Amino acid sequence: MVKASLSPASERTLYILGAGAIGSLWAAYGYQAGADIRLILRDQNTLGHYRQHGGIRLISANQTWLCPIPADCPESISTPIQHLLITTKAQQTLDALRCIKSHIATQAVMVLLQNGLGIVEQIRREFPRATVLQGSTTEACYQQNRFEYVHAGRGHTFIGSTENDQRTVLLELAESLSFPPLQLSVSDNIDAVLWRKLAINCVINPLTVIHRCRNGELLNSSERRAQIQQIVNEILALSSVLGRSEWVANLYELVTEVATTTAANRSSMLQDVEAGRDTEIDAITGYVCQLAEQHNTPAPMNKQLLDDIKRLPKVTRC
């Protein structure tokens, strides 16, 4: 295993792959904090639209900032990427990384901050000498218009690694990615953090799609609260089989807390469905259903939600 090292903060360019809600949130606050940030956009065409727009517009607590964050498309990247924050959708991650593979330094440090599980292993296989750290956030942000995002609720963000000897790098990274008001902490048990986040996303994301509602509106009726409870029960049963019960103690209360603190947010899955984009359902509910099947644990509500969301019509875009 290669031990990761970071270049001095003053010389560090942070590339952000995935200019969706969370990537744009980090990019905008990073830009405001004076960090050397570069967004990687999908292609020349998107880059052209972005430049015409003048940057990322961030709306937070009735304040609006237009942040002209420097941006590239894969063809225009000119320096080797040493530090990469990956905020793409789970299902787009590998393709997006392959597009910029020739620009990624062999020993790059990558932080994967996205919903769902199952992707980090694939990245590590494809970039064996890179250091791939994992993160999880409950910051709430949604897209209002193209390149315009609303920071709709505060959450917690953790990064961590299953490799013990990465602690120094993690502490330094947590500090250098904490662009006020965003605050990163290092978790000593990132697997637990990611499993909890997966559980929260299994509840909030598909249910907000089924009911076409904001996160907080999931708590508005007893029918919805009963659905929350059923998903929670299925995840608790699976967690118990996997020996992970401790990781999801008080899951119902945790989900309620996140739905309350992000009440005004439209979940990322609802945003995807409304924009006709692919959702992360396979990496979220699909991941849980697969594990449940492998361990002969019933998860009928999750299975139903997986099927329902996958059946939703897609908008065909050219």
Cβ distance to ligand KPL smaller for residue 24 or 138 = 138
138 binds ligand KPL (CB under 6 A): yes
297 binds ligand KPL (CB under 6 A): no
| Residue of 197, 303, 310, 314 with catalytic role | 197
- Segment contacting ligand KPL by CB under 6 A, of 5-13, 246-254, 260-268, 303-311: 260-268
Q: How far apart are CA 123 and CA 126, in angstroms?
A: 5
The DSSP secondary-structure symbol of 281 reads: T
**Residues facing residue 133 across a β-bridge:** 111
Q: How far apart are CA 233 and CA 179, in angstroms?
A: 36
In whole angstroms, the minimum distance from the beta carbon of 206 to ligand KPL comes to 11
Among 115, 157, 279, 285, binds ligand KPL (CB under 6 A): 115
Judged by CB under 6 A, how many residues of this single chain contact ligand KPL?
Answer: 12
In whole angstroms, the minimum distance from the beta carbon of 284 to ligand KPL comes to 8
114 binds ligand KPL (CB under 6 A): no
Sign of CA dihedral 17, 280, 55, 140: negative
Cβ distance to ligand KPL smaller for residue 120 or 140 = 140
Among 91, 131, 201, 227, binds ligand KPL (CB under 6 A): 201
268 binds ligand KPL (CB under 6 A): yes
The DSSP secondary-structure symbol of 188 reads: S
Task: Give whole-number Cα distances, 307 to 108, 198, 278, 283, in Å.
Answer: 38, 18, 14, 14
What is the DSSP secondary-structure string of 104-141?
EEEEEEEEEE-SSSSSHHHHHHHSTTSEEEEEEE--EE
Give catalytic residue positions: 197
